[in-house]
């Protein structure tokens, strides 16, 4: 009888391990939340604050291609449609073709929905992928999209970090540079 108990316990343990391994992953750890801040910036339009953003890295220094995370806390409600249009407008400003922008917008379809004041969006860039995380006010972070297209990952971050960004002061602040 003892042999049967051991066999059954082994089978249960094996099945539990298999089930756990088959559960979907979050697309990367949430360690980026503990990374030190490189810099932070606030985007305003007139007297309205649109969002506050921060750039984080494992070392506290921005050293691409090492991992880095852009975290945005929204100060206003913004529809998904309006946010996607703003993203497209910034890509156009940076010189990406209409076909690239269209393809990338389709790929980002599940990255975020309508944004409510105090919601947060984070994009973590790893060597071979980018991962979107979303946090509604009072909720836990959840992974919304993992993208393997490194051109798209770089283009998304270029909105804030490119030397050709529409907001150079914002870029300098994120990079921790004096203006």
Residue 170 predicted with pLDDT over 70 = yes
The pTM is what?
0.82
Answer yes or no: are the C-beta atoms of 105 and 91 closer than 8 Å.
Answer: no
Residue 136 predicted with pLDDT over 80 = yes
- Rounded distance between C-alpha atoms, residue 151 and residue 129, angstroms: 10
Beta bridge partners of 56: 37, 69
Residue 152 has phi, psi (to 5 degrees) of: -65, -45
Query: How does residue 9 score in pLDDT terms, banded at 50, 70 and 90?
Result: very low
Peptide bond into 37 cis (omega under 30): no
What is the average per-residue pLDDT within 112-135?
A: 95
What is the average per-residue pLDDT within 75-99?
A: 95
What is the average per-residue pLDDT within 24-29?
A: 46
Answer yes or no: are the C-beta atoms of 53 and 71 closer than 8 Å.
Answer: yes
Within 74-149, residue ranges assigned H as helices are 80-93, 98-107
- Rounded distance between C-alpha atoms, residue 28 and residue 66, angstroms: 15
- Rounded distance between C-alpha atoms, residue 38 and residue 70, angstroms: 10
Residue 22 predicted with pLDDT over 60 = no
User: Which among 153, 166, 50 is positioned nearest to 111, based on CA atoms?
Assistant: 153
């Amino acid at each position: 009888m003892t042999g049967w108990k051991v066999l059954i316990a082994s089978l249960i343990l094996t099945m539990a391990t298999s089930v756990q391994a088959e559960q979907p992953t979050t697309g990367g750890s949430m360690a980026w939340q503990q990374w030190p801040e490189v810099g932070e910036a606030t985007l305003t339009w007139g007297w309205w604050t649109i969002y506050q953003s921060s750039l984080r890295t494992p070392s506290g220094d921005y050293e691409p291609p090492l991992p880095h995370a852009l975290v945005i806390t929204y100060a206003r409600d913004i529809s998904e449609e309006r946010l996607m249009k703003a993203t497209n407008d910034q890509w156009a400003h940076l010189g990406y073709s209409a076909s690239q922008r269209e393809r990338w917008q389709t790929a980002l379809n599940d990255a975020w929905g309508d944004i409510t004041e105090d919601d947060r969006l984070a994009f973590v860039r790893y060597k071979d992928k980018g991962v979107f995380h979303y946090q509604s006010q009072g909720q836990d972070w959840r992974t919304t999209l993992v993208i393997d297209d490194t051109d798209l990952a770089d283009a998304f971050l270029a909105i804030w970090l490119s030397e050709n960004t529409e907001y150079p002061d914002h870029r300098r602040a994120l990079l921790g540079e004096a203006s």
